[in-house]
Homo-oligomer: A and B are copies of this chain.
Amino acid sequence: MHSDQTKERVGLDTVSDVGQPMHRLMTELYPICRSITGDGVRQTLKILGRILPLKIYEVPTGTQVFDWTVPKEWNIRDAYVKKLRGERVIDFQKSNLHVVSYSVPVNRRIPLDELQKHLFSLPNHPDWIPYRTSYYNEDWGFCLSERQRKALTDDIYEVCIESTLKDGNLTYAEYFLQGESEDEVLVSCHICHPSLCNDNLSGVSLSVQLAQHLGHQANRRYSYRFLFIPGTIGSITWLARNENRLNPIRHGLVVTCVGDAGRFTYKKSRRGDAEIDQAAQHVLKHCGHPYIVQEFSPYGYDERQFCSPGFNLPVGCLMRSPHGSFPEYHTSADNLEFVRPEDLQVSFNLYRELIDVLEGNRTYVNLNPKCEPQLGRRGLYGAIGADSHRKFDQMALLWVLNLSDNHHSLLDISIRAEMPFREIKWAAEALEKCGLLQETVLTD
């Protein structure tokens, strides 16, 4: 029993290297100027489409999605602030963060004091360019480093933003993996940020990697639906268009900020005690990395929409450093150096481990519930001389037998036994093979 399982025993640190390919994908996506609509999103999805057979949706401007309306589509070709003599002092071609996202077109000469009202910089980080947006308030602006800002001394500058803001579409994509059951796991990431890595090219890249990994697995219990959507308006649009198809969603995860070196953060779903919440906490407890667990709050990423009271879906958010908690957040310092392949790898492993728990979290009933069965004559008990490894396994066997009473899933047992899920799952499989256990349906 133990020998043929050994090959399955793939711990967090022994999986094949996916950190490098994840980082390479981010490197390719990095230069594109994404926003909540526009060609940057399409270009991004085209690149992802080379890896995954995405289904791409275009939702027209003006479409009503609950309380919101799909906005005009924004595109940008070029933008700059230049001296009257011609030298560009702020240049969109050097960084797409320089332009406030959804800036309306502008092309004129402007005195410095008026220009200042349209400039955003970070006095505490004089070399970083901040990231700003103005989606629902028609305006324009430039982001620049504090150092650049201090160098602006001319009286008048020439300002140009070659953008378009007109009727078009909101673009998003789905990747669906059919499993044995119609029950779904939702994995959602946002694709609306320009040259920013942790938030959220890391989430895009990890989602792609996870989808690939799951696509290679035989016998998936759950179906998986991956969403590549713009933040907020994207999830609202998706929920509005799929309102009648949410019922099969059993678990969900919002994937973001998974490339930095910070401790893990799991933010619970609004329910707080959903299976995804318990599974995530269990996996984190045994992962060997520092972590914290946060209660749900109605701020953050698209879990805000998935967990709105009208849906209350069991969707949590598993990340490293949460939004706003690292200084590089929403600045040019959230770049390709800030996220590292080895950290992406660890995050991927944790997601995989968590999915493994969801996949494997079955419920069994002990067919020999009166007293312990005799494990020894089934080869499940060490003879003379205790072998510590087997003894550990034996505790898992005893826990599974003791708690397999229709009221405890394998995850429940793992939590109660304070043992890694996989140890409990192996024990359950061994006991099922011996005819001591039978799968059943969990009852409260």
Asked if A35 lies at the interface with its beta carbon under 8 angstroms from chain B, I say no
In the bound complex, CA of A141 to CA of B232 (Å): 71
Set B65, B134, B299, B385: member contacting A383, Cβ < 8 A: B134
Which residues of A in the span 287-311 have a Cβ within 8 Å of any Cβ on B? 297-299, 304-305, 307-311
Asked if A371 lies at the interface with its beta carbon under 8 angstroms from chain B, I say yes
Q: Are A304 and B376 in touch, CB under 8 angstroms?
A: no
Asked if A342 lies at the interface with its beta carbon under 8 angstroms from chain B, I say no
* Closest beta carbon of chain B to A324's beta carbon, Å: 10
Asked if A327 lies at the interface with its beta carbon under 8 angstroms from chain B, I say no
Asked if A346 lies at the interface with its beta carbon under 8 angstroms from chain B, I say no
Which residues of A in the span 113-167 have a Cβ within 8 Å of any Cβ on B? 120, 132-134, 136-137, 139, 141
Complex contacts, A136 vs chain B, CB 8 Å: 374, 376-377
Set B270, B312, B399: member contacting A298, Cβ < 8 A: B399
Q: Are A371 and B310 in touch, CB under 8 angstroms?
A: yes
Interface residues as binary, A356-369 with B (CB distance below 8 Å gives 1, 0 otherwise): 00000000001011
Complex contacts, A398 vs chain B, CB 8 Å: 298-299, 304
Interface residues as binary, A215-246 with B (CB distance below 8 Å gives 1, 0 otherwise): 00000000000000000100110011001000
* Closest beta carbon of chain B to A30's beta carbon, Å: 25
Asked if A11 lies at the interface with its beta carbon under 8 angstroms from chain B, I say no
Asked if A402 lies at the interface with its beta carbon under 8 angstroms from chain B, I say yes
Set B307, B311, B371: member contacting A67, Cβ < 8 A: B371
Set B67, B133, B404: member contacting A368, Cβ < 8 A: B67
Asked if A350 lies at the interface with its beta carbon under 8 angstroms from chain B, I say no
Q: Are B305 and A369 in touch, CB under 8 angstroms?
A: no
Residue of B at shortest CB range from A383? Answer: B137
Interface residues as binary, A394-414 with B (CB distance below 8 Å gives 1, 0 otherwise): 010011011111000000000
Q: Which of A309, A399, A403 has the most CB of B within 10 A?
A: A309
Complex contacts, A232 vs chain B, CB 8 Å: 372
* Closest beta carbon of chain B to A164's beta carbon, Å: 20
Asked if A370 lies at the interface with its beta carbon under 8 angstroms from chain B, I say yes
A68 with B371: in contact, given A299-B398, A401-B298 (CB under 8 Å)? yes
* Closest beta carbon of chain B to A230's beta carbon, Å: 14
Set B139, B270, B369: member contacting A310, Cβ < 8 A: B369
Q: Are A68 and B235 in touch, CB under 8 angstroms?
A: no
Residue of B at shortest CB range from A140? Answer: B384
Interface residues as binary, A8-42 with B (CB distance below 8 Å gives 1, 0 otherwise): 00000000000000000000000000000000000
Complex contacts, A384 vs chain B, CB 8 Å: 100, 120, 132-134, 137, 139, 141
Q: Are A67 and B270 in touch, CB under 8 angstroms?
A: no
- List 18 other contacts, CB 8 Å, given A100-B384, A240-B370, A309-B404: A66-B368, A67-B368, A68-B371, A134-B384, A136-B374, A137-B383, A141-B384, A239-B371, A298-B372, A298-B402, A308-B369, A308-B401, A309-B402, A309-B403, A309-B405, A310-B368, A310-B370, A311-B371
Query: Which are the 4 A-B pairs with shortest beta-carbon distances?
Result: A310-B369, A310-B370, A298-B402, A298-B398
List 27 A-B pairs, Cβ < 8 Å: A66-B368, A66-B370, A66-B371, A67-B368, A67-B371, A67-B372, A68-B371, A120-B385, A137-B384, A236-B371, A239-B370, A240-B370, A270-B402, A297-B417, A298-B372, A298-B398, A298-B399, A298-B402, A305-B372, A307-B402, A308-B372, A309-B369, A309-B401, A309-B404, A310-B366, A310-B368, A311-B370
